[in-house]
Chains A and B, each alone.
Chain A
Amino acid sequence: MKHMRALDRELKKGSAELLILTLVETRPRHGYEISKLIEARSGGVLRFNIASLYSLLYRLEKRGWLKGRWIEKTGQRRRRFYRLTVEGKKVLATQRNTWQEFVEAINRVTSVENA
């Protein structure tokens, strides 16, 4: 179980950015929404705790890939929504390609073994 957790961390680290950028591609979302989506779509496998999630969001924002904005809807408290910037879009495309190639490469290696 220990090395599962280690794998968890490594994978997460590498893919975390991709995950978040993907999730805000279609529309702006706030932090909690993003964390729930990741948990849901990954079937509970991937979970971000509050510290890692937001530190990542802030990092991406600093790099200029995300833009956060406080939005106040009637009757609600204001929330911080993140959306993809132009720069972020480019990065997402690149990272997607890279990830795609990586996965295909792994697949090729592992499937050859299986085959």
Chain B
Amino acid sequence: MIDRHSLFVSAGIHLCALILILLPWSFTKNEWEISKPIPVRIVSIGALTQSPSPISKKEFNRFKEITTTEKPKSTTAPIPEKTFKDIKKRASKVAVKIKSTKQEAQEKIPVAASTPTAPQKKQDMPTQSVQTQKEAAFQSVLKSLQHNIENTSINKSTDPHAFEADNISDHLSISELDALRQQIQECWYVQQSIWEDHQIVVEAIVEIDPERKVSNITIKNPPMGFNRAAFQAAADSVKQALRAPECTPLALPPDKYHQWKKAKFIFSPKGVW
């Protein structure tokens, strides 16, 4: 026979642990990517959706010009099939759960008799919710594409929360972090006159696609009054390092995409001289 008292105590401890873990999660801006990784590719927007394109024609044409140039074939190792199936399975389970929860919620909404369109709404709910999901997912693709077009100048801070990255580096092992560090440090050409004279630290939020290529770099602005020319030069050297062919793809574990897709890199060559 199980002691009821100890059962309640155990349940209480587990519940507290769960709350402590989940509570900070609820305040983060992160969203769990439930759809499979979306390859960055040019598609004709009009063929897939009737919604107005968020990108202007000029930007779209320019982006098309940039991305339709021949790129070297990707040598990235594909995500292992087993792992990919696991992710897909889990994702689909949760998607179904959310979908069914929404359906239930919609069924409970009282429908006014005076609105003749109410029954239609009720029937269209499931398809609309799927369509809304698709559209939202596609909009996020377009946003990421748009982000690639925009200039990554240090003057622009596109996202006010761009630098609210969690300072957590314990989701990758030490050897994985070291491998990444070694790789990028080989590509990072340091100019002593910039870094030593001005004591510069460059912080960059780097977005990485599933093929482990850097898709976007946002550099944090330096403090006011900082030598702008020196910082610009330092930031350029960082961007070159991250986009160097020798450092593409990045030495990151393919099966941990969700853990490294957005990273904060800090460049401060104090140990060089």
Query: Are the chains A and B members of one assembly?
Result: no
Interface residues of chain A, those whose CB is within 8 Å of chain B, are none
